[in-house]
């Protein structure tokens, strides 16, 4: 019995020794990982500091000298950033190795190893996911946040950034910025900052003029506090526009301009960028450009009070109402598709859903949705007053319980009553028979 006790007690002793050794190894690896992560963070910190101080040599010193294509691109990126009033630029490493993304294999058939570790041949590489925070002075109320998927490579004991596209095959794409799309021209207006790539300066100056004229129109419709300055981006192609917005090019074909956060992307950043479609915007006449730009600038003005609770028939309808507010044109000309439906006896039975504002959907349905929202806001402004329309917009942003109690509080009727009045208004305003 005594021997049996001794033999049994030897097993826990071995287990304890093994556990201690395992825990010791885990601690050592964790410490090594933390130290390495600190080294990678330091590389990105040096790059951020170089952006803020305008130090080109220091910036390029963080870029892999053997990554020729990437290094050439980063020379252009730095030159573009130097033209902007950037007052905040920082990175925060949030994941490394396979936790960030799996590195692709090199031409020799090897990758960075498990977690980006040591390899038998070639330099060591590590995948890094980092949060980029930046702010353009005067245009961003708070730093904009984006995610970067970077590859860092060690050469002779020193780490460099060598790629920002290795994660793309696995769906880990770094946020695309206009200053990464080629040499950028910057034009400053009285109330605007216009950034363009592949566009003549004459076009960018015209954009600045359009934006400058649109700001007072949006301000008159939205008499609340907002920056009263806008940032406009003019990419070279529809494909480049889609890259900035994160959708397929087909989603934006025929759309003259888009404000970031619009149509389903609300809440992504605290900033607003008006992105112009080069294939559609310049086909418009002067009045058409004014209407489009006032619509988009109104989104910038109302951004702080637009939330996931704000229905798109209200946010898009309000922006259109602001854009057409001073336009002397019959409603049937502003809402031709809805007018055609009314003439055919097809008055819409309900307000459009958020899904019906999707850019990738049916073009006619999208147009009717915008026209419906515009007429709803026009009716509220005429029947209850413009201040009540603004009050409705402000209240909708905090409508946790849906729009019905908000509409009752602000207008004295529920959604059913508002919809019935809107249907009658649509019939009366658009039936030209």
CA-to-CA distance for 377 and 30, rounded, in angstroms?
A: 58
Give the separation between CA 129 and CA 113, rounded to whole angstroms: 17
Q: What Rg value do the Cα atoms of the chain yield, rounded?
A: 28
Q: Which residues contact 168 (CB under 8 A, 6 or more apart)?
A: 149
**What are residue 105's phi and psi, to 5 degrees?**
-75, 145
- DSSP structural state of residue 432: -
**Percent above pLDDT 90 for the chain:** 77
Output the six-digit token pair for 342.
């009314």
pTM of the model: 0.85
Helix (H) or strand (E) holding 192: strand 192-197
Q: Hey, what are 297's tokens? A: 């600038």
pLDDT at 265: 40
pLDDT at 8 > cutoff 90:
no
* Mean pLDDT for the stretch of residues 132-156: 94
How many of the other CB atoms lie within 10 Å of CB of 427?
Answer: 12
Q: Say how many C-beta atoms besides its own lie within 10 A of residue 248's C-beta.
A: 12
- Give the confidence band of 15 by pLDDT, cuts at 50, 70, 90: very low
Mean pLDDT of 263-288: 76
Quick check: 232 pLDDT over 50? yes
d(CA 134, CA 241) in angstroms, rounded, equals: 20
How far apart CA 133 and CA 143 sit, in angstroms, is: 6
Long-range contacts of 366-370 (CB under 8 A, 24+ apart): 367/337, 368/337, 368/338, 368/341, 369/312, 369/313, 369/316, 370/316, 370/317, 370/320
The SS3 call for residue 160 is strand
Sign of the dihedral through C-alpha 28, 29, 32, 37:
negative
How sure is the predictor about 10, in pLDDT bands with cuts at 50, 70 and 90? very low
The helix (H) or strand (E) run that includes residue 221 is helix 201-221
CA–CA separation, 213 vs 296, rounded Å?
A: 12
Give how far Cα 30 sits from Cα of 33, 98, 103, 115, 331, Å. 5, 15, 21, 13, 67
Count of Cβ atoms closer than 10 Å to residue 75 Cβ? 13
Position 262 scores a pLDDT of 46
* Residue 383 clears pLDDT 70, i.e. is over it: yes
């Amino acid at each position: 019995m005594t021997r049996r006790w001794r033999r049994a007690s030897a097993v826990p002793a071995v287990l304890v020794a093994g556990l201690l050794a395992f825990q010791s190894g885990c601690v050592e690896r964790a410490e090594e990982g933390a130290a390495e992560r600190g080294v990678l963070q330091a590389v990105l910190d040096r790059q951020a500091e170089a952006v803020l101080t305008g130090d080109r040599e220091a910036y390029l010193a963080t870029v892999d000298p053997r990554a020729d294509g990437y290094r050439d691109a980063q020379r252009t990126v730095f030159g573009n950033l130097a033209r902007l009033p950037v007052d905040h630029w920082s990175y925060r490493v949030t994941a490394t190795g396979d936790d960030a993304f799996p590195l692709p294999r090199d031409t020799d058939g090897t990758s960075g190893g498990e977690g980006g570790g040591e390899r038998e041949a070639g330099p060591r590489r590590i995948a890094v996911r980092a949060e980029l925070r930046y702010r353009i002075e005067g245009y961003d109320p708070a730093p904009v946040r984006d995610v970067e998927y970077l590859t860092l490579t060690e050469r002779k004991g020193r780490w460099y950034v060598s790629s920002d596209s290795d994660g793309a095959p696995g769906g880990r794409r770094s946020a695309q910025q206009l200053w990464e799309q080629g040499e950028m021209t910057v034009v400053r207006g009285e109330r605007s900052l216009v950034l363009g790539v592949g566009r003549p300066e004459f076009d960018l100056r015209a954009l600045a003029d359009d934006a400058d004229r649109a700001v007072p129109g949006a301000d008159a419709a939205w008499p609340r506090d907002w920056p009263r300055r806008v940032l406009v981006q003019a990419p070279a192609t529809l494909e480049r526009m889609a890259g900035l917005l994160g959708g397929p090019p087909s989603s934006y074909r025929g759309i003259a301009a888009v404000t970031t956060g619009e149509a389903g992307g609300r809440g992504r950043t605290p900033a607003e960028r008006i992105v112009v479609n080069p294939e559609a915007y310049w086909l418009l006449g002067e009045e058409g450009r004014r209407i489009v730009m006032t619509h988009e600038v109104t989104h910038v003005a109302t951004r702080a009070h637009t939330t996931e609770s704000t229905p798109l028939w209200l946010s898009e309808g309000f922006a259109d109402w602001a854009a057409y507010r001073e336009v002397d044109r019959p409603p049937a000309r502003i809402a031709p598709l809805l007018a055609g439906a009314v003439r055919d006896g097809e008055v819409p039975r309900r307000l459009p859903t958020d899904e019906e504002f999707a850019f990738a959907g049916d073009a006619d349905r999208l147009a009717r949705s915008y026209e419906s929202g515009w007429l709803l806001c026009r009716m509220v402004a005429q029947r209850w007053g413009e201040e009540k329309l603004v009050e409705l917009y402000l209240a909708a942003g905090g409508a946790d319980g849906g729009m019905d109690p908000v509409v009752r509080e602000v207008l004295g009727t529920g959604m059913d009553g508002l919809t019935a009045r809107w249907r009658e208004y649509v019939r009366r305003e658009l039936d030209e028979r």
